Amino acid sequence: MINAECDHCGKTFSPNDIFLVADSKLCTACAEEFHKTHKDIPIEEFKRQQDRTVCVNCRKDNGSIEFPIMAGQPVCEQCTAFFKNRPYPPWIKLAMAGLAAIVVFSFIWNWRFVQAYVDVKSAAHAADANQASKLFRSAAAKVPEAKWLSTMAIYFDGIQMLMEDKSAEALKLFNFCKANFPPTPSMDDMIATAEIGVAFDNKDYDKFLSLAIQKQNKHPDDTSAVAGVASAYACKYAVTGNEQFKQQSLDFLKKSKTISEKQGDLKRFEEYEDRILYRLETREILGRKEFNQKFPNGWKKQQKEQSK
């Protein structure tokens, strides 16, 4: 142990009982008195000194030789070994085991959410509506409390119905989705498309034309929306023979082609064009499915082959 002298009272103390204040070494009692008369000096300026020859843990006195410092404190060799190799208390071991059990349980309990998330991500990249519907239905089975997942499955069922020209069934599914899901522009567009299909299937060509024009006004740069108006006018021509309807159909068909050329999507336009031109030429109204069955290679292509 080493000793230090108080600059105020002159008494000798262990450095652990000495404070360094304004370059003065003061014992505990003198430091307290000094603080009372010097309120302008913050308490943080009273720095306790340290006797590095005495172990902070076991209080072993090492004479005039200082102990190594561990975590800012002098520690003897035996205590250093104790601190470095100190066994964990039983309560810590129990706590760690409990925490590990909670982590494992949580992982197993929440695994269904992870699987559902993977299904939803896969649905976003699905090759077709049917596959997307199956993936959303799989996610809904894993997390039944998330009602929107089953609604999304029904939404993609509706899209699949449209692809199969089952407009009435699609309309029922879309209306169900709208009633059970927040309003979205895409949902309204799907409902409008299904309503157009229902009007066509019912041979209500006036309604078909009215709905097609509404959709085209909403999406003036959409090839299918513009071609839909051309299709409706072609139907009106087919049943009335009115040449004005025929010209209007050709005008909208030309407009649809211009949009397709700008967007680099002529393939989709050609599908509409072939069916609409056949309707104008023959005044026979065929749906997409009927047309493709009758002309699997296309009407214009068949005409060219027959003319050879």
pLDDT at position 305 is 63
pLDDT at position 119 is 92
Q: In 3D, which of 125, 198, 190, 202 has the Cα closest to residue 165?
A: 198
CB neighbours (10 Å) of residue 120? 19
Taking the C-alpha atoms of residue 64 and residue 260, their distance in angstroms, rounded to an integer, is 94
Q: In 3D, which of 24, 16, 6, 7 has the Cα closest to residue 48?
A: 16
Conformation bin of residue 48: beta by default, left when phi > 0, alpha when psi is -120 to 50: beta
* Coil, helix or strand at residue 4: strand
Sequential pLDDT tens for the chain (308 residues)? 677 888 888 888 877 778 888 778 888 888 888 888 888 888 778 887 777 778 877 878 777 787 888 877 778 888 877 777 766 677 677 777 787 777 777 777 788 888 998 999 999 888 889 999 999 999 999 999 989 999 999 999 999 999 899 999 999 999 999 998 887 888 999 999 999 999 999 999 999 999 999 999 999 999 999 999 999 999 999 999 999 999 999 999 999 999 998 888 787 788 889 999 999 999 999 988 899 888 888 887 777 666 55
pLDDT at position 126 is 86
pLDDT at position 308 is 53
Q: In 3D, which of 252, 184, 197 has the Cα closest to residue 222?
A: 252
Sequence length of the chain is 308
Q: Under a CB-based contact definition with an 8 Å cutoff, are residues 91 and 121 in contact?
A: no
Q: In 3D, which of 148, 202, 214 has the Cα closest to residue 176?
A: 148
pLDDT at position 81 is 79
pLDDT at position 1 is 65
pTM, 2 dp: 0.62
**Tokens coding 223:** 């090839």
